[in-house]
Structure 1
């Protein structure tokens, strides 16, 4: 594995939506890339915050009391325990920062739960 990771090349290798890929790790956190399109599931992460950074496209993070709309280079942190549901009308590329082992569907589980993918070295 190399020490240098190119975000553009890594995103180009992702073909499926809602399938996070680990770009790298730092301390106890994974830096993940994901392509998003459509609507996810409502869920919470009871024990951790979740950082979203939009790289391209427009992402809406639905919260029970409001919608947060993110464009390229926007960052939003969903606080631990806050129910949320990401959605995107068109494809979005995003970077996520979460503790290692965080499941994408949080406490909801279900068919959209994904195994964390690794990029080929």
Structure 2
């Protein structure tokens, strides 16, 4: 049991679009990712997804609206909902996702 410093982990994350596993809880993986620019339109057919902004500002585009998230804000995207994450500047996110190893 070690504490996790999100600002420190964010600072140490140098590569864009690469997941850093912070740990697992129950049947979920907690990942950190740094992004900049636009990701493609996509949806997750089998799981909901939580996006939490650690640093920067994230625009999460949906087909009918755009939700802007600032540090310490999060959103849960239900499974099957198309979305496109956009970071006009550098953004660090914490993601909660089903553990793929199970």
Q: Which consecutive residues of structure 2, in runs of 5 or more, have no partner in the other structure?
A: none
1:33 match: 32
Instruction: Kindly provide the CA deviation profile for residues 18-47 of structure 1, in whole angstroms up to 9, marking residues without a partner as x.
Output: 111110110110111111110011111100
2:62 and 2:82 in contact (8 A); partners too? yes
2:60 match: 61
2:23 match: secondary structure: strand
Cα shift at 1:55 = 1.2
Deviating runs (4+, > 6 A) in structure 1?
none
2:44 match: secondary structure: coil
How large is the RMSD of aligned CA atoms in angstroms? 1.5
2:17 match: 18
2:83 match: 84
Cα shift at 1:6 = 2.3
Task: Give the alignment's TM-score, normalised by structure 1.
Answer: 0.78
2:3 match: 4
Q: Which consecutive residues of structure 1, in runs of 5 or more, have no partner in the other structure?
A: 103-121
Alignment partners' CA distance in 2, 1:90 and 1:100:
29
Cα shift at 1:15 = 1.0
